[in-house]
Amino acid sequence: MTLLLVRHGESEGNVRGLIQGQRDEPLTEHGRRQAAAVAERLKADGGADRLVASPLARAFATAEAIGEAVGLAVTTDERLMEYDFGELSGLTVLQARERYPDWTWLSDRSGPMRSPVPGEEGLAAFDARVAEAVAELMAFDGRTIAVVHGGVVVSALNVAMRMHGAAEAAGRRVRFPMKNCGISELDQDEAGRLIVRRHNDASHLPPRPSQGA
């Protein structure tokens, strides 16, 4: 049982520095190149038995590129969608902090959310749906590629850390940087705990073309 978590390619929202959340943003041209590169990497690594993706456009388009390379159809799972930031969606971080001074970025939080923004999902609900999806994906007897969002990868890795007591000992969420089209790999030990085999593998990614090239 192996789960390969792939973050989507660069989106227009990424370039503009937006808090995207569940707002749909298309891939940039560079994001499409990243998707093609990770697709070839996964094909070279032996492909997979199943391909699942967030239904948001930036993830689904990345998954389609992978599916063409490895010969799999894409199925979607709404539980793999990005965290819902509510009224913060579409704002920059600076705009969000100006509008909601008590708001803190997800990785800076510990304990319950103090001042939820209208429409914001909440970390407990987010982590619960990601954990449920990951448990079902890990129950599959084979290799699964899941094309998701950075927040989903961080949540899944924190689920793994909590199984070993590491995240709880720190009293907060563990930060995990995640590049567009980077790969993280999870499997299970004999006790059923998630093991992080690799994280943020981006060795396959093309460099960004220089301006004017």
Residues involved in catalysis = 8, 149
Tens digit of pLDDT for each residue in 199-209?
Answer: 999 999 999 88
pLDDT at position 213 is 46
CA distance 210 to 21: 29
CA distance 38 to 61: 12
Q: What is the CATH class of 2-201?
A: alpha beta
Question: What is the DSSP-derived secondary structure letter of residue 131?
Answer: H
Extract long-range pairs of 15-20: CB within 8 Å, 24+ residues apart. 16/92, 17/92, 17/93, 18/89, 18/90, 18/91, 18/92, 19/85, 19/88, 19/89, 19/90, 19/91, 19/92, 19/93, 19/96, 20/58, 20/82, 20/89, 20/90, 20/149
Amino acid (1-letter code) at residue 103: W
CB distance 183 to 41 below 8 Å: yes
Q: Where exactly are the structural domains of the chain?
A: 2-201
pLDDT at position 35 is 98
Q: Look at the pTM and tell me if it is higher than 0.95.
A: no
CA distance 213 to 211: 5
Tens digit of pLDDT for each residue in 139-167?
Answer: 999 999 999 999 999 999 988 888 766 54
Tens digit of pLDDT for each residue in 12-37?
Answer: 999 999 999 999 999 999 999 999 99
